Amino acid sequence: MADIKGLTPRGFGHQLRALVWSYQGFKIAFQTESSFRTESYLTVILGPLAFVLGRTPVECALLFGTLLLLLLTELLNSAIEKVVDQISPDYAEFAGHAKDMGSAAVLMAIINLIVIWAAVLWSRFAT
């Protein structure tokens, strides 16, 4: 968790702490979010395939990048949900809207992944 303003170390110490906080974020997401776990497993499976199926470095980067984008979007969506649940434990329309928009962002990342993987696979095997 981030330190109080003014108490955060500078330089390498700050970078090291940021790395620890990032690790904690991944750990919490993996432990508490089934969607993040599923998408992590998908990344473990498809990640190496991205480098096998891509014919060029750009194709490899595009394929792998879609997986990273999906994980990133899921992390942000999970963070939005946790904050909204904390701020508004009872039903509130704005809370539902925030959660729906986060979910829509994940859907867009999934569509992006499908379109790019389909295009690369099509160009590799259908031509």
Smallest CA-to-CA distance from 59 within 125, 127, 123 is with 123
| Cα distance between residue 84 and residue 13, in whole Å | 31
Q: Which residues are catalytic?
A: 74
DSSP 3-state helix, strand, coil percentages of the chain (rounded to 5)? 85, 0, 15
Smallest CA-to-CA distance from 3 within 86, 14, 26 is with 14
Query: CA 50, 51, 53, 55 torsion: positive or negative?
Result: positive
